[in-house]
Amino acid sequence: MSKKRVFFVRHGETDWNAEQRWQGHIDIALSPVGIEQAERAADLLRSANLGIILSSDLKRATQTAEIIARQEKTPIITSSNLREVNVGIVEGWQRDDIVSDLGEATLLRWGSVLPEDLDFSFPEGETKSAALMRSLTTILSYLDQTAHENVGIVFHGMIMRTLLHFLFPKLKDPLRIKNAQFFEAEYETSNQVWTPRGELEKILEPEAVAFATADSSAVKPSWW
């Protein structure tokens, strides 16, 4: 059985993060604070011996990945499928703008981790379930074929939270993921089982969670 250690990493802070502006697919670079955060994450991840890093192709993610990869010259593969959820018309908006124009209930549905809210999208945006499908399909496709045992994945806050809640449905309260924070899990390619490690193991009961891939014949959630 082939096991992969997977490190899910959120990008470092941008000026828009500090201003609490929704970024979505807008391509914002790391701020000086974000660069420092990525450097600290790189120090913490050094012992992980990453063989490869998959990254969103947006600057804030690729810059974070490059900082993590620098010392060991770890190769990086970028993909647009790892981008943040496309938030449509609210790109560049702040929280108060959303509440004022679209209502508090809209914001609550965006932040919800309930399965029935995965089909939510902002006007002209992408559903969380669509973003989950594109990112997870890309991640699983790579993990199932790579010889690397330790893999880093650098992407974005909402898509990372959506993914982790999907893989580990015992996570009931929405994960609060800070900039440049990472979580570790183990993926067994032969039977497609995910097991929480590190901080996730502390949050969850240490219990493996089976997951059916997109091309599996197993029954999938109705929103998939």
| 2 band by pLDDT with thresholds 50, 70 and 90 | confident
Mean pLDDT of 74-80: 98
Mean pLDDT score across all residues of the chain: 91
Dihedral pair phi/psi, residue 115, rounded to 5°: -55, -35
Looking at the chain, the whole-number percentage of residues with pLDDT higher than 70 is 91
Task: Count CB-CB contacts under 10 A for residue 62.
Answer: 20
Q: Look at 67-76, 145-154, 186-195, 198-207 and tell me which has the smallest mean pLDDT.
A: 198-207
Residue 125 near residue 85, CB atoms below 8 Å: yes
pLDDT at 208: 47
Q: Which amino acid is at 118?
A: L
Q: What would you report as the CA-atom Rg of the chain, rounded to the nearest whole angstrom?
A: 17
Where do the domains of the chain lie?
Answer: 3-210
Using DSSP, state whether 91 is helix, strand or coil: coil
**Residue that has been written with the tokens 């440049």 in this structure:** 180
User: Could you give the residue numbers annotated as active site?
Assistant: 11, 84
pLDDT at 206: 47
Check pLDDT > 80 for residue 8: yes
Mean pLDDT of 165-176: 91
32-51 pLDDT, tens digit each: 999 999 999 999 999 999 99
Question: pTM of this prediction?
Answer: 0.90
| 205 band by pLDDT with thresholds 50, 70 and 90 | low
pLDDT at 1: 53
Task: Count CB-CB contacts under 10 A for residue 191.
Answer: 9
51: exposed, middle or buried (C-beta count within 10 Å: 0-12, 13-18, 19+)? Answer: middle
| 176: CB partners within 8 A, 6+ apart | none
Mean pLDDT of 194-206: 86
Mean pLDDT of 154-177: 94
* More confident call, 34 vs 192: 34
120-147 pLDDT, tens digit each: 999 999 999 999 999 999 999 999 999 9
Task: Count CB-CB contacts under 10 A for residue 212.
Answer: 13
| 173 band by pLDDT with thresholds 50, 70 and 90 | confident
CATH, range 3-210: 3.40.50.1240
Question: Residues 112, 152, 177, CA angle at the centre, nearest 5°?
Answer: 30
